[in-house]
């Protein structure tokens, strides 16, 4: 072992064309599958939590394939916060919409559309999916950064 | 507006997200948004409280469902008191946190989320919904404790997380048992159904035991208090002030709800053992908490153990379970929140200004820092229960309630607790006013602005701001003034307590 490796531990990242190609191919499918699971929250097993984690794993896969630092720079610090924020905001809007239309909080029937309740729950599941994927991404970067920057805030 | 009960929970969540999202565009907007939100929150809770105290409880079912199925929100005198208390203390601590820190936007966002969780716990009329808000409160509180710099707060938060999750799990298990027994989660519906199942049914008894022990962990009653001193002492000053004032308080409120709204007094009458357990928890907590407080050398640890002892009084009032004692419990919950929050913030201020964070370092503070020492002294005396302060009124009602039901051991312990509280606070007051500083304590260091930002979470070495002084002095004034109006408040609360005990 040379001195330079002793001073700075080598990153576990290995640039492998096989992994990069695989990740490129399966990413769209994983994303679609995540959405599929999210859309099945209202009437079968599935939902925003599971779907959100699946969508969040895309960033994890990209991190494994292309290096965590590269992915972090590409994603940027604002995306996870934005995802979480817009997810919660979407939920609040869906909830308070009926109040503005004269119903009570979260009363989906106040929206005058067919199967309002079903679409309402579906939208809430999507919002939860946004939040969960944002948090998974944020947590991944925070944990990956290790103890070095001492409690810095990525998400 | 008829939808205010839902909005009072949704609004802080919205504000919390607003802090995060606006923070992406303009980084230094966390404090103004959080403060504005807290002021609006006080207005919302205030108008709800007016309706809650005015005759029948306000009831609201989320989503337009009918009662036993939908989530119900109920605002009576007691829950109205809690939400106003949460909003007011949150604003006060924000005034302190502006310069004392922590100041990141994620701190303010978590802070508002904690407010949402506490408000939700206070007004929900559904046990499972209460668990959800208990978890929101818990998780945000762990995060806030961890927001201090350095390993100590991280370790404290981890311990808090482990023990707190254990408590919440017991609570959830208790809900499960109650649900198995009755098939409902709505509190009002549960109380009827549990009576139908029979109070001596082992399923119902197990549910009661799990719910109560789960909340004991959250309140920090003696043998289950281990997370609390570490968390309060390890957290940044502003956070210790906030969570010591609110988190255990709202958990104790939840215990009152569970015991009297869900299981009712008849359950306690049918199961004398349940009452004995509550009584034992109270007595042990009061005595051991005080003794441990006397043994502490660090101020924040001392205050934390003092909380263990004070919440023993509340548990005692629940065990007594008549209207006088419960009025006392409500008053003492409010009083303790103001006093303990005030004491933690004053201790933080003194630590920031004079660097005194241990009992011995308090020597000669009366000359050195008259306003800080004065506030600390007044609130400490209020805590002991010197009339006419709020601490006196709360203890008076609880002791009176204990005497009315002839629970002499508890009445004796309450009187003893006053002496024990005096024991640990007299030590501090004596040092502040009747001793010269033995060693030269580190004088006030004014560091330049950039350094002040860096050490903000730690505190030591910064000059206290106007907001910090104002919060501390307001807490001291309130702990006296509230004592004067507390008897009127007790009368105002009468219909609510009667309804709770019927």
Q: What is the pLDDT of residues B403-432, one digit of tens each?
A: 988 888 888 988 888 888 888 888 888 888
* CB of B362 closer than 8 Å to CB of B353: no
User: Which has the closest alpha carbon to B107: B146, B160, B156, B136?
Assistant: B146
Full-model pTM: 0.88
| Per-residue confidence (pLDDT) for residue B373, from 0 to 100 | 86
* CB of B131 closer than 8 Å to CB of B165: no
Partner-chain contact A104 B20, CB within 8 Å:
no
* B40 token code pair: 């609006």
* B429 token code pair: 């007051």
Min Cα separation B260/chain A (Å): 28
By C-alpha distance, the chain A residue nearest B63 is A107
* B327 token code pair: 């009025």
- Within 8 A by CB and 6+ apart from B450, the residues are none
User: Which has the closest alpha carbon to B307: B340, B338, B276, B283?
Assistant: B340
For the segment B58-100, what is each residue's pLDDT rounded down to a tens digit?
888 877 677 777 788 888 888 999 999 999 999 999 888 887 7
- Write out chain B residues lying below 8 Å of A109, CB-based: 64
By C-alpha distance, the chain A residue nearest B64 is A107
Please list the alpha-helical segments (H only) found in B220-236.
227-234
pLDDT of chain B, 502 residues: tens digit per residue: 578 888 888 899 999 988 888 888 888 888 889 899 999 999 999 988 888 787 677 888 877 677 777 788 888 888 999 999 999 999 999 888 887 778 788 889 999 999 999 999 999 989 999 999 999 999 999 999 988 877 888 889 999 999 999 999 999 999 999 999 888 888 888 888 888 888 888 899 999 999 999 999 999 988 888 898 989 988 888 899 899 999 999 999 999 999 998 988 888 888 889 888 899 999 999 999 998 988 888 888 899 999 999 999 999 999 988 888 999 999 999 999 999 999 999 988 888 877 778 877 877 777 778 888 888 889 998 988 888 888 899 898 999 999 988 888 888 988 888 888 888 888 888 888 887 765 554 444 444 443 434 444 444 445 777 878 888 888 888 888 888 888 888 888 888 888 888 7
For the segment A26-38, what is each residue's pLDDT rounded down to a tens digit?
999 999 999 988 8
Q: Closest partner residue to B10 among A81, A84, A95, by Cβ?
A: A95
Residue listed under structure tokens 């991404």: A137
- Within 8 A by CB and 6+ apart from A8, the residues are none
Min Cα separation B261/chain A (Å): 25
CA angle A125, A127, A129 (to 5 degrees): 70
Q: What H or E segment, with its residue span, contains residue B364?
A: none
- Within 8 A by CB and 6+ apart from B399, the residues are B328, B411, B414, B415
* B502 token code pair: 């019927």
Interface test with B, best of A106, A124, A155 (most B CBs within 10 A): A106
Residue A155 has pLDDT above 50, yes or no: no
For the segment A106-122, what is each residue's pLDDT rounded down to a tens digit?
777 777 777 777 788 88
CA angle B466, B470, B475 (to 5 degrees): 155
Give the HSE-up count for residue B18: Cα atoms under 13 Å, Cβ half-sphere: 16
Dist. CA B239–CA B100, nearest whole Å: 10
Q: Is the dihedral of CA A148, A149, A151, A155 positive or negative?
A: negative
Residue A47 has pLDDT above 60, yes or no: yes
User: Which has the closest alpha carbon to B29: B113, B104, B114?
Assistant: B104
Dist. CA B76–CA B198, nearest whole Å: 27
Dist. CA A5–CA A56, nearest whole Å: 33
The SS3 assignment for B75 reads strand
Interface test with B, best of A80, A88, A101, A124 (most B CBs within 10 A): A88
Residue A152 has pLDDT above 50, yes or no: no
By C-alpha distance, the chain A residue nearest B73 is A105
* A134 token code pair: 């944002």
* B332 token code pair: 């003492």
What are the residue ranges spanned by the domains of chain B? 271-502
Rounded to two decimals, the ipTM of the complex is 0.78
| Per-residue confidence (pLDDT) for residue A80, from 0 to 100 | 86
Q: What is the mean pLDDT of residues A49-76?
A: 88
Share of chain A above pLDDT 90, in %: 19
- Within 8 A by CB and 6+ apart from B467, the residues are B95, B96, B98, B99
By C-alpha distance, the chain B residue nearest A151 is B149
Distance of CA B468 to the CA centre of its chain: 20
Dist. CA B127–CA B272, nearest whole Å: 24
User: Which has the closest alpha carbon to B219: B129, B329, B144, B97?
Assistant: B329
| Per-residue confidence (pLDDT) for residue A27, from 0 to 100 | 93
Residue listed under structure tokens 């022990």: B213
Q: How many CB atoms lie within 10 A of CB B427?
A: 15
User: Which has the closest alpha carbon to B38: B1, B86, B104?
Assistant: B86
Dist. CA B333–CA B249, nearest whole Å: 6
* B313 token code pair: 């009084």
Min Cα separation A82/chain B (Å): 7
């Amino acid at each position: 072992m040379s001195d330079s490796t002793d001073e700075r531990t080598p990153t576990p990242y290995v640039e492998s064309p096989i992994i990069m190609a695989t990740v490129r191919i399966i990413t769209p499918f994983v994303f679609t599958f995540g959405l599929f699971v999210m859309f099945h929250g209202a009437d079968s097993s599935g939902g925003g939590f599971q779907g959100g984690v699946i969508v969040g794993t895309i960033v994890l896969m990209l991190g494994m394939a292309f290096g965590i630092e590269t992915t972090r720079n590409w994603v940027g610090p604002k995306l996870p916060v934005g995802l979480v924020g817009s997810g919660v905001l979407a939920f609040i809007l869906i909830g308070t919409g009926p109040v503005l239309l004269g119903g009570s909080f979260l009363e989906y029937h106040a929206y005058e559309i067919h199967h309002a309740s079903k679409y309402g729950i579906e939208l809430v599941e999507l919002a939860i999916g946004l939040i969960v994927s944002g948090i998974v991404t944020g947590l991944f970067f925070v944990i990956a950064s290790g103890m070095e920057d001492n409690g810095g805030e990525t998400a | 507006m008829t939808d205010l009960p839902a909005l009072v929970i949704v609004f802080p969540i919205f504000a919390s997200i607003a802090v995060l999202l606006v923070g992406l565009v303009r980084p230094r907007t966390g404090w103004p948004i959080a403060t504005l939100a807290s002021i609006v929150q006080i207005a919302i809770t205030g108008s709800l409280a007016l309706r809650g105290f005015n005759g029948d409880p306000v009831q609201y079912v989320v989503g337009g469902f009918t009662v036993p199925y939908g989530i119900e929100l109920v605002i009576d005198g007691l829950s109205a008191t809690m939400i106003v208390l949460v909003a007011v203390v949150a604003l006060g601590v924000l005034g302190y946190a502006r310069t004392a820190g922590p100041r990141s936007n994620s701190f303010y966002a978590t802070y508002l989320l904690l407010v949402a969780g506490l408000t939700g716990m206070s007004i929900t009329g559904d046990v499972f919904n209460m668990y959800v808000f208990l978890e929101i409160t818990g998780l945000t509180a762990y995060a806030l404790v961890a927001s201090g710099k350095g390993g100590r707060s991280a370790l404290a938060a981890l311990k808090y997380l482990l023990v707190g999750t254990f408590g919440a799990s017991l609570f959830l298990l208790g809900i499960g048992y109650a649900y198995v027994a009755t098939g409902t989660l709505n509190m009002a519906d549960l109380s009827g159904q549990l009576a139908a199942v029979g109070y001596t049914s082992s399923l119902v008894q197990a549910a009661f035991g799990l719910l109560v022990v789960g909340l004991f962990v959250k309140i920090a009653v003696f043998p289950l208090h281990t997370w609390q001193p570490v968390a309060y002492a390890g957290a940044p000053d502003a956070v210790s002030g906030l969570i010591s004032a609110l988190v255990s308080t709202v958990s104790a409120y939840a215990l009152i709800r569970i015991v009297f709204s869900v299981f009712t007094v008849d359950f306690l009458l049918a199961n004398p053992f349940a009452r004995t357990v509550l009584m034992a928890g109270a007595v042990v907590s009061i005595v051991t908490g005080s003794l441990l407080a006397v043994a502490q050398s660090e101020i924040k640890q001392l205050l934390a153990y003092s909380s263990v002892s004070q919440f023993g009084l509340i548990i005692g009032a629940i065990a007594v379970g008549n209207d006088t004692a419960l009025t006392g419990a409500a008053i003492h919950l409010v009083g303790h929140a103001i006093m303990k929050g005030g004491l933690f913030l004053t201790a933080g201020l003194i630590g920031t200004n004079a660097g005194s964070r241990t009992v011995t370092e308090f020597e000669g503070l009366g000359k050195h820092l008259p306003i800080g020492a004065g506030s600390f002294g007044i609130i400490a005396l209020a805590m002991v229960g010197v009339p006419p302060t709020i601490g006196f009124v709360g203890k008076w009602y609880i002791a009176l309630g204990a005497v009315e039901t002839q629970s002499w051991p508890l009445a004796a312990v309450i009187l003893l607790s006053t002496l024990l509280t005096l024991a640990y606070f007299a030590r501090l007051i004596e040092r502040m006013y009747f001793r010269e500083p033995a060693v030269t304590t580190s004088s006030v260091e004014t560091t330049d602005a950039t350094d002040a930002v860096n050490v903000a979470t730690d505190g030591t070495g910064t000059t206290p701001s106007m907001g910090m002084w104002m919060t501390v002095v307001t807490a001291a004034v309130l702990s006296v003034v509230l004592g004067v109006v507390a008897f009127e408040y007790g009368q105002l609360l009468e219909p609510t307590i009667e309804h709770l005990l019927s």
